[in-house]
């Protein structure tokens, strides 16, 4: 299967304002209480939106990711480093159309979500670009809950409150807990990721 990521590296350092806000200015993990699942009584939680989607609708449907057949995973080089403003600019990537990789990622999104007005106070370890053929469908950010700094590889603190997959749609932040199997898969793929190479026309 051919995987198409032609357009990606031509805009590699161009970030939408909302994505920069979501990824660039956050510094740590939210130590607050657990969020309520979609469809629950969210009236007491000012960070949650009252979404109009049926309570049975899952994140994969909201994101429009059914039918995705390939993924490009970006692993930020030092997500927990001191530079909280620019850490998303440095990364390696892993591209795959392997169903044993793509399908489990999609299955993790095929569950109920928490919809928030604001991004959680957590850094992301990377993000995933899902594709259907040459069409880019949606960007999903991830955090496996394993807090490690590239500047100090011996530091590995569990940050379970920040273990999530999330995406942005219509100004809302849709969160789904990351399964332990998916966290293990992402951590397995990370050493196989490669540095981006600029295209030469």
Q: What are phi and psi of 105, to 5 degrees?
A: -65, -40
Task: Tell me how far apart the alpha carbons of residues 196 and 92 are, in angstroms, rounded to a whole number.
Answer: 6
66, 108, 134 from 137: Cα distances, Å: 9, 16, 9
**pLDDT tens digits for 30-73?**
333 333 344 333 333 434 444 445 557 899 999 999 999 999 99
β 164-169/91-96 pair status? unpaired
Q: Residue 7: which pLDDT band, with cuts at 50, 70 and 90?
A: very low
Strand, helix or coil for residue 91? strand
**pLDDT tens digits for 149-174?**
555 544 444 555 789 999 999 999 99
pLDDT reported for residue 199: 63
Using the predicted structure, report yes or no on whether residue 135 has a pLDDT greater than 60: yes
Q: Which helix (H) or strand (E) holds 201?
A: none
Task: Tell me how far apart the alpha carbons of residues 32 and 3 are, in angstroms, rounded to a whole number.
Answer: 41
pLDDT reported for residue 157: 46
Q: Which of 111, 97, 115 is nearest to 48 (CA)?
A: 115
Average pLDDT (168-197) is 94
Q: Which of 77, 79, 58 is nearest to 167 (CA)?
A: 58
- CB-based contacts of 57, cutoff 8 Å, min separation 6: none
Q: Identify the residue whose tokens are 């059914």.
A: 66
**Upper half-sphere CA count for residue 142 (Cβ side, 13 Å):** 27
Tokens of 29: 């993990």
pLDDT reported for residue 152: 52
């Amino acid at each position: 299967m051919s995987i198409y990521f032609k357009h990606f590296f031509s805009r590699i350092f161009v970030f939408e304002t909302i994505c920069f806000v979501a990824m660039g200015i956050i510094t740590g993990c939210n130590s607050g209480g657990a969020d309520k699942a979609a469809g629950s009584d969210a009236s007491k939680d000012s960070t949650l939106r009252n979404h109009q989607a049926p309570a049975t609708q899952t994140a994969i449907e909201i994101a429009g990711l059914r039918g995705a057949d390939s993924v490009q995973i970006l692993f930020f080089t030092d997500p927990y480093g001191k530079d909280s403003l620019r850490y998303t600019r440095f990364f390696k990537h892993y591209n795959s159309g392997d169903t044993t990789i793509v399908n489990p990622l999609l299955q993790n999104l095929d569950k109920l979500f928490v919809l928030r007005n604001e991004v959680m106070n957590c850094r992301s370890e990377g993000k995933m670009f899902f594709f259907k053929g040459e069409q880019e469908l949606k960007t999903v950010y991830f955090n496996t809950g394993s807090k490690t700094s590239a500047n100090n590889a011996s530091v590995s603190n569990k940050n379970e409150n920040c273990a999530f997959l999330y995406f942005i749609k219509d100004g809302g932040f849709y969160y789904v807990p990351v399964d332990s199997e998916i966290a293990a898969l992402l951590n397995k793929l990370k050493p196989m990721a490669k540095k981006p190479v600029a295209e030469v026309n």
